[in-house]
Structure formats: structure tokens, C-alpha cells
Chains A and B, each alone.
Chain A
Amino acid sequence: GAGVSQSPRYKVAKRGQDVALRCDPISGHVSLFWYQQALGQGPEFLTYFQNEAQLDKSGLPSDRFFAERPEGSVSTLKIQRTQQEDSAVYLCASSLADEQFFGPGTRLTVL
């Protein structure tokens, strides 16, 4: 498809487990953003890549969160030792210019 895809769509983890969330941006899109959306809230910025360079990671809530985009296309958001407060929808967006195109999100539930 031509849109942003994310996998898995749903993830249930036991507290303390590590998880990896994948984002496939639109082909050719240079910029890639990760957002976290808690239940009933608006998304909040986590981190931003331009090609393979992580230009801004100021939104990552703790050092348990790590993101990479090694070849400038697919990105992975990794959360180590998950906690219940990490339960949220994780949205990925890619852009070429001003408009950001969002993926369907990964709903993470930490038990």
C-alpha cells in the first residue's frame, strides 16, 4: 500500500518485558516522527528522524525508550522493561514537506 504501516497493530506485554514496534513510512519520505497517545488524550511527541539521523529525542519519557532508523526508511521504537504507564497507542508519521501522514498505530497494553 501507499500509506504508513505499523506492526503489530496490537501488543500485550507483561510488565518488565521488552517490546519493539515497527513503522514503515511512505517511500521517499525523509522525516519520520513517533508519538504516544494515552487513552483519551491527544498524541504527544516522542522523537524525530530525518533520514537515519535522530534529530530530536526530547519527548522520550525515559531511558527505557529507544528508537532507531538505521537505513533511513523503516523505524523501530523499542521499550525496555515495560511498565503499566507505557500502555498507550504509539503512532508513527512520515512527511516529505509540511503534512504528516499517520500510520494506524500500535496499541500497547502492559499488564
Chain B
Amino acid sequence: AQKITQTQPGMFVQEKEAVTLDCTYDTSDQSYGLFWYKQPSSGEMIFLIYQGSYDEQNATEGRYSLNFQKARKSANLVISASQLGDSAMYFCVMRDLNPGNTPLVFGKGTRLSVIA
């Protein structure tokens, strides 16, 4: 079974500063994908970034980067130059990549508040 742990229920960050949201995972699968999604108060689930278990380079997507440490089973999200619009709930998510299409397993989330 897969499990995602997000230990920070809430985080505060000053506008323009960087912030790291923690995520650890547990799986017996060899091939898996790790995702981060953002959920604003409006409720939609917005895909941010993806890291495959066999990818050697850490994923980056604009101001988002994923600090992937496979041996430690961690996949922290780093947001650089925080903006007020980054205030939202952030979910670390994983999926078994074999076989075919499989459900996403979500963590409990971290609520990020950006302060002006």
C-alpha cells in the first residue's frame, strides 16, 4: 500500500521569500510518480509539478521545484519568491505507474498562507 505523509498542517511565509513544504512517502512499488497539487479556496485541484521515480534530475516548473531524495523517500516542494496568490492548500500525491492508469494517493495537505 502507498502512503503519503505531510507533517505540516499549516505554514506561513513572507511574500517574496522561499518556502519548503515537506512530504515523505512509503511504497513497495519500484515505478511510481510523485505530484504536487494546489487547491485554492475556490476548490479546484491544480497540478503543479511531477517527478518520476526513475528521474535522476529534480523536477522544476517555473517557481516550483521538487526536492526528490529517493533513499529518504522524500519529495519536498520548494516555492521560490512566494506571491499572495500562492496562499492555498497543497497536496503531495503519488501514483503507482504500473500497470496502466492508477488512482492518486493524497496526503492530508499543508495550508500555506503568504503574508504581505
| Residues of A near any B CB (own CB < 8 A) | 30-31, 33, 35, 41-45, 48, 50, 56, 59, 89, 91, 93, 95, 98-105, 107
Contacts and interface: CB of A to CB of B under 8 A. Distances in A.
A103 B42 CA distance: 12
A33 B43 contact: no
Contacts of A107: 43
Given A33-B103, A33-B104, A105 B109 contact: no
Contact of A99 (B42, B50, B100): B50
Interface residues of B, number: 22
A42 B109 contact: yes
Interface of B: 4, 33, 37, 42-45, 47, 50, 91, 95, 97, 100-109
A41 B101 contact: no
Contact of A50 (B45, B50, B101, B107): B101
B101 A48 contact: yes
A50 B103 CA distance: 12
